[in-house]
């Protein structure tokens, strides 16, 4: 335990996701030892992001405008929506350059233990986007973990009655991976998504 401002900084850093007590302490002492101008730029960047950045009114992605650049891009295919958990997932999909449709960011995944149910996600907003008949396919791209699978199953069952094609991203074994280290969900999905070995 440290005194005053140092302990307050450690406590605040420790509230960040993925930062434990030791990491918070290391970061706090890095900040203390760092050049003052570097830390002023860090403070300015944090202040700016909190003041300027909001969530896109259409898809929920981060944006400095009312709608994000992807939703404003008229070259994107409005008939296909890729549903992801978080804004960082949009970036991951965009890096592949394999998807030219639009996105919908849920803002998390169903996790009853953490008190997150369907009502805490942006599912109503997704349904509202399906009212204009422009959307023909929903691609569910939630994470391949228990929460992502629960969210995917919930969405697939709910969207089934609407009559829109619902697909799920294929998942399987990573290149260079060993079967013995694959978890059950990944290995099971790899079997489900198998394809011809020729061609």
Q: Phi and psi of 77, rounded to 5°? A: -80, 110
Please, where are the H alpha helices in the chain?
A: 4-14, 21-33, 36-52, 69-72, 87-96, 123-129, 146-160, 184-192
Residue range 112-132: mean pLDDT, rounded: 93
Tell me the C-alpha distance between 183 and 146, whole Å: 12
pLDDT on residue 199: 56
Q: What is the pLDDT of residue 197?
A: 66
Query: What percentage of residues in the chain have a pLDDT greater than 70?
Result: 96
pLDDT digits (tens, 9 = 90+) for 142-190: 998 889 989 999 999 999 888 889 998 877 777 777 777 777 777 777 7
Cα 81 from Cα 138, distance rounded (Å): 5
| Nearest CA-CA partner of 101 in 124, 84, 114 | 84
């Amino acid at each position: 335990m440290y005194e005053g401002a140092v302990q307050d900084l450690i406590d605040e850093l420790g509230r960040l996701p993925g930062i434990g007590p030791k990491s918070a302490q290391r970061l706090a002492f890095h900040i203390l030892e760092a050049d003052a101008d570097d830390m002023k730029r860090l403070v300015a960047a944090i202040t700016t992001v909190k003041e300027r950045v909001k969530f896109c009114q259409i898809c929920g992605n981060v944006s400095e405008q009312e709608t994000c650049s992807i939703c404003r891009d008229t070259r994107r295919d409005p008939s296909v929506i890729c549903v992801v958990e978080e804004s960082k997932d949009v970036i991951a999909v965009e890096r592949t350059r394999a998807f030219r449709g639009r996105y919908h960011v849920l803002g998390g995944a169903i996790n009853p233990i953490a008190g997150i149910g369907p009502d805490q996600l942006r599912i109503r907003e997704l349904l509202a986007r399906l009212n204009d008949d422009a959307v023909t396919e929903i691609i569910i791209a939630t994470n391949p973990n228990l929460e992502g699978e629960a969210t995917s199953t919930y969405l697939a069952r709910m969207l089934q009655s609407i009559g829109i094609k619902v697909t799920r991203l294929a998942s399987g074994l990573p290149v260079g991976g060993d079967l013995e280290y694959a978890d059950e969900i990944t290995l099971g999905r790899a079997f489900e998504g198998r394809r011809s070995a020729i061609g």
